[in-house]
Structure 1
Amino acid sequence: MKIVPVQEAVGMVLCHDITQIIPGKFKGRAFKKGHVVKKEDIPKLLDIGKENLYVWEINQEQLHEDDAARRIASAAVGSGITLTEPKEGKVNLVANQMGLLKVNTEALYQINEIEEVMFATLHTNQIVVQDKVVAGTRVIPLVISNSKIHNVEKICQNNYPLVEIKPFRSIKVGMVTTGSEVYHGRIQDKFGPVVSQKIEALGSYVFRQIFVSDSIDMIVEAIHQLLREGAEMITVTGGMSVDPDDVTPAGIKAAGGRIVTYGAPTLPGAMFMVAYIGKIPVLGLPGCVMYSRSSIFDLVVPRILAGEEISRKDIIALGHGGLCVNCKECRYPDCGFGKGV
């Protein structure tokens, strides 16, 4: 910060607000802190009575906060995101499509370790809709050293993209609904409509639902039938508990499923199964998916539809944040459920 004559301040940054007072008519801010002085500002500043100004001088070693925010955001942004113009030194990153938000959290930590720089995001791996603000960045002072911004850009380059939105694929989903009580028509199926609605909300569709009794052989045949008909994902609903009549896990395995996990550190959703037959995901859905507003289904299926293959490590990581507290008014995905990583 330094004091300079008004006439010499062109291209420099004001360090404080400048107030204008017109007796009986106006009192307020004429120039805002952070304003870059222009040649046309000189007469007004002199009229206000300002012959000298406190300024930051911008040069090759220093960047104005607006320019710094632009550079940080531009280096970090990936597909599916639009940048806003700087406002009060801040640039927002806004979703331009519905999809799965992905944040490189390790790189984000590295950026925020740099003094005078901040970058805030929503939690990774959550569904976002178009026009949702997913991140924002700025620097703390009015001006910052160019070398710090260069360091941020280097981190982003080595970990690109820092933030992106993966679009959801539209795929054919097959459903196997187990349970002798449903198969024999004793009760109406409640599982199918819920799963279909969730799938359709993400842009995919259930092309066929097959009802089977609590029979490993019937489950195997239903899964194979759906595969023959081109299913790109299969859900097997019900029969996931330790009850001797619940044979869904055994049926998925007998159908050729490579089991990634049977069990997940989430509530609701502990009895969830992820398996693959070739590259086709086969999910064993516990009963909570039918009656819980948010469950393990909502944490895993969006990632599959975004083109990700689910690993056991992915499931284990859900433990931190995997407790849904059943809020009276559910705010998912804008809540802590499943947001531990």
Structure 2
Amino acid sequence: MIYGTVAASSAEGAVLVHSVRVGERTFRKGRTLDAGDVQALVEARIEAVVVIRYEAGDVPEDEAARRLAEPLVGPGVAADGAFTGRVNLRARHAGVLRLDQAAIDAVNHLDEALTIGTLEDYAPVAEGQLIATIKIIPFAAPAAALEAAVARLRESPSPFRVASFRGISAFLIQTTLPTVKESVLDKTAAITKERLVQVGGRLLGEQRCAHTAEAVAAAVAEAPSVDVLLIAGASAITDRRDVLPAGIEAAGGVVEHFGMPVDPGNLLLFAKKDGRPVVGLPGCARSPKLNGFDWVLQRLGAGLEVDRRQIMAMGVGGLLAEIPTRPQPREIAPPPDRPQVAVLVLAAGQSRRMGRLNKLVQPLGTKPMVAFPVDAALASKASEVVVVTGHAPRDVETALAGRTLRFVHNPRFDEGLSTSLQAGIKALGPHLDGAIVCLGDMPRITAQHLDRLIDAFEPEAGHSLVVPTVDGKRGNPVLWGRRHFQAIQDLAGDVGARHLIGQNESELVEVPMADDAALIDIDTQDALERARSDER
């Protein structure tokens, strides 16, 4: 790449290195300047800009990120779209992440422009959770390094896979002593059941017996056939010849390993009987706090091998007691960290420029106009779809019958667009991080358009406002982060929230679109007829 400061008048075709304020607009870094942009810079009396120009052998950052991500998508893994030189990998289902660290390290050592960051190996993950990010260090990657990385990755299976939780079954045996209260045993059973739920498993039952080797042996022998047998002793296991291991062996089991380099959890016992795992629980397993038993259970729940060598390898990272940020078992499968976004489809207007027709329910091809953006929202990554009605609400509800969505009625629809925005925002739950405000008269919006906005939405990184652009011109729909909801609630009259964008340029992400759907709405009969002609 060629990097440097150039006269604004000669910057056409170059890529901005830093964002530039141009009148009421902001040209974001990474923007490829066209002739119109250059004219705007000159008219704004901006004399020079810092840019890069691609050279032969440079691969633009989005293309490079996408190409590097392709061989990284393994079983149980999905890739987001490329944006600002980044592709995020996510878990397709809940389970345990497995990594080939050597393969990932090899790519990270090839060239400083190519980076892959991941969660740790054996991390428990939820469906949709971010597991890795591929980032091209701006603004391009050397083609030779990229091709070498892709070739190396394709030589072997993907270094990423998510082993899904298989729905294992378990049975719990608890031994008793006069000093152990029934309430303690009840709590242990409840916590164990919850642990199993978090790895997709189920506790089929429980048996309590005396704290003797003979009683344990009888309970093990009588236990139902399950995927894993769990035994919680009334006192901690202190030796391979103690009550629990002696009872397991008397029932025909084999103790494979006692102890583990994880704290809490040191006194875990791992055995096998008839080919199935038998786990003697450490005392800390009576608590919901994370401990070594959780690590073993997560792997068993995902069908991953657990043996003495696996347990002995858990020491690095195994000091859990002094890490206050470690989750408790109810968070073993943490909620997806992809921001939760709703789509608000505004369908409350009176279509004044269409005469007596309610344009939203007019047929366009095979379905009513409003069904196009609604179906796009339902097919997208959005968590929820809410349709705001106002004028002729029953007509809109009938046009969208049979779809999984929520209707919110705005009785003040005749007071202007702002009231519909506010009705929709007010109806959103506290779990949502943002909302895409989509107009009901934009039939060319697709799920792919909406997903590109969602992929670019990173409120924790300060990217709380996402706008589609077409050749540098901003369009709709717009994704608003939760922090902007109050400002929307404060709007008044027949105006949207467009002016709020200018007030929050520092948090704005512009997403270039490949077509002009973000600029097309249907306001007149002539526009409707043209759209119908296009549909034929």
TM-score range, shorter chain: 0.7 to 0.9
Cα 1:242/1:42, change in 2 over 3 Å: same
State the one-letter code of the partner of 2:221.
H
Structure 2 match to 1:338: none
Could you say what the CA RMSD is over the residues aligned between the two structures, in angstroms? 3.3
Q: Measure, in 1, the Cα distance between the counterparts of 2:91 and 2:247.
A: 41
Judge conservation of contact 1:248–1:284 (CA < 8 Å) in 2: yes
State the one-letter code of the partner of 2:38.
L
Q: Equivalent residue of 2:210, what SS? A: coil
Q: Measure, in 2, the Cα distance between the counterparts of 1:52 and 1:286.
A: 64
Cα 1:213/1:63, change in 2 over 3 Å: same
Query: Are 2:226 and 1:231 aligned?
Result: yes
State the one-letter code of the partner of 1:160.
P
Q: Measure, in 2, the Cα distance between the counterparts of 1:181 and 1:83.
A: 56
Query: Are 2:219 and 1:218 aligned?
Result: no
Between Structure 1 and Structure 2, how many residues are aligned? Answer: 323
Query: Are 2:73 and 1:77 aligned?
Result: yes
Taking the TM superposition and a 5 Å limit, the aligned residue runs for 1:270-281 are: 270-281=266-277
Structure 2 match to 1:167: 164
Judge conservation of contact 2:254–2:273 (CA < 8 Å) in 1: yes
Cα 1:209/1:191, change in 2 over 3 Å: same
Q: State which of 25, 39, 55 in structure 2 corresponds to 1:46.
A: 39
Judge conservation of contact 1:101–1:128 (CA < 8 Å) in 2: yes
Judge conservation of contact 1:214–1:246 (CA < 8 Å) in 2: no
Q: Equivalent residue of 1:166, what SS? A: strand
Query: Are 2:20 and 1:14 aligned?
Result: no
**How far did residue 196 of structure 1 move?**
1.4
Q: Measure, in 1, the Cα distance between the counterparts of 2:167 and 2:19.
A: 56
**How far did residue 297 of structure 1 move?**
1.3
Query: Are 2:248 and 1:252 aligned?
Result: yes
Q: Measure, in 1, the Cα distance between the counterparts of 2:246 and 2:189.
A: 21
Q: Equivalent residue of 1:276, what SS? A: strand
Q: State which of 123, 128, 146 in structure 1 corresponds to 2:125.
A: 128
**How far did residue 195 of structure 1 move?**
1.0
State the one-letter code of the partner of 2:129.
K
Q: Equivalent residue of 2:314, what SS? A: helix
More deviation in 116-125 or 157-166? 157-166
Cα 1:149/1:188, change in 2 over 3 Å: closer
Query: Are 2:146 and 1:149 aligned?
Result: yes
Q: Measure, in 1, the Cα distance between the counterparts of 2:15 and 2:148.
A: 26
State the one-letter code of the partner of 1:108.
I
Q: State which of 287, 291, 297 in structure 1 corresponds to 2:287.
A: 291
Q: Equivalent residue of 1:181, what SS? A: coil
More deviation in 150-159 or 133-142? 150-159
Cα 1:245/1:44, change in 2 over 3 Å: closer
**How far did residue 268 of structure 1 move?**
0.9
**How far did residue 272 of structure 1 move?**
0.4
Q: Measure, in 1, the Cα distance between the counterparts of 2:19 and 2:196.
A: 56
Structure 1 match to 2:30: 34
Judge conservation of contact 1:240–1:272 (CA < 8 Å) in 2: no
Judge conservation of contact 2:9–2:39 (CA < 8 Å) in 1: no
Structure 2 match to 1:67: 63
**How far did residue 35 of structure 1 move?**
3.1
What TM-score do the two structures reach when normalised by structure 1?
0.82
**How far did residue 62 of structure 1 move?**
2.3
Judge conservation of contact 1:240–1:284 (CA < 8 Å) in 2: no
Q: Measure, in 2, the Cα distance between the counterparts of 1:188 and 1:280.
A: 24
Q: Measure, in 2, the Cα distance between the counterparts of 1:134 and 1:244.
A: 39
State the one-letter code of the partner of 2:93.
Q
**How far did residue 314 of structure 1 move?**
1.4
Cα 1:178/1:306, change in 2 over 3 Å: same
Q: State which of 275, 278, 303 in structure 2 corresponds to 1:307.
A: 303
Summarize deviations over 1:270-306 as a string: whole Å, max 9, x none: 1101122243111010211102511111111010111
Q: Measure, in 1, the Cα distance between the counterparts of 2:69 and 2:244.
A: 47
Cα 1:86/1:196, change in 2 over 3 Å: same
Taking the TM superposition and a 5 Å limit, the aligned residue runs for 1:93-104 are: 93-104=89-100
Work out which of the two has the higher radius of gyration on C-alpha atoms and give 1 or 2: 2
Q: Measure, in 2, the Cα distance between the counterparts of 1:21 and 1:148.
A: 36
Summarize deviations over 1:27-54 as a string: whole Å, max 9, x none: x533x443345xxx32332343389995
Q: Measure, in 2, the Cα distance between the counterparts of 1:142 and 1:290.
A: 52
Unaligned 5+ runs, structure 1? 336-341
Taking the TM superposition and a 5 Å limit, the aligned residue runs for 1:79-118 are: 79-116=75-112, 117-118=114-115
Cα 1:175/1:327, change in 2 over 3 Å: same
Unaligned 5+ runs, structure 2? 333-536
**How far did residue 76 of structure 1 move?**
0.9
Structure 1 match to 2:502: none
Summarize deviations over 1:159-197 as a string: whole Å, max 9, x none: 422222211011221111123438997975432222112
Cα 1:273/1:13, change in 2 over 3 Å: farther
Q: Relative contact order: is structure 1 or structure 2 higher (C-alpha 8 Å, sep ≥ 6)?
A: 1
Cα 1:323/1:282, change in 2 over 3 Å: same
Q: Measure, in 2, the Cα distance between the counterparts of 1:263 and 1:8.
A: 70
Q: Measure, in 2, the Cα distance between the counterparts of 1:54 and 1:241.
A: 67
Cα 1:43/1:221, change in 2 over 3 Å: same
Query: Are 2:192 and 1:195 aligned?
Result: yes
Judge conservation of contact 1:15–1:56 (CA < 8 Å) in 2: no
What TM-score do the two structures reach when normalised by structure 2?
0.54
Q: Measure, in 2, the Cα distance between the counterparts of 1:328 and 1:9.
A: 52
Q: Measure, in 1, the Cα distance between the counterparts of 2:241 and 2:258.
A: 17
